[in-house]
Amino acid sequence: MPLLVKFSRIYPAISFELLHHDIDVLPVVDADLSISREIPQFDSHTMVMVPFYAYHNSVFASPAYLDTHPNITSP
């Protein structure tokens, strides 16, 4: 993120935003994130699901960002 601060100072006319969307179309079992790929002629009975990564949502802001933006008043 520090590069975004530097970039925005050099090019103040360019804006960017971080978007997060909940996706309810994937079959997720006790997970916050699901990665999938379509496989032709897929037989789910021959596959075993195993977790490969623990993922936790977090949002961070640099002191420089907090010093130059209004206080956050809602989630």
- pLDDT tens digit string along 14-55? 877 766 656 555 554 555 555 566 677 777 777 777 777 777
Q: What share of the chain is helix, strand, coil (3-state, %, to 5)?
A: 25, 0, 75
Residue 6 confidence class, pLDDT cut points 50, 70, 90: confident
Mean pLDDT of 7-14: 87
5-14's contacts with Cβ under 8 Å and 24+ in sequence apart are 5/62, 5/64, 5/65
User: Which carries the bigger pLDDT value, residue 66 or residue 57?
Assistant: 66
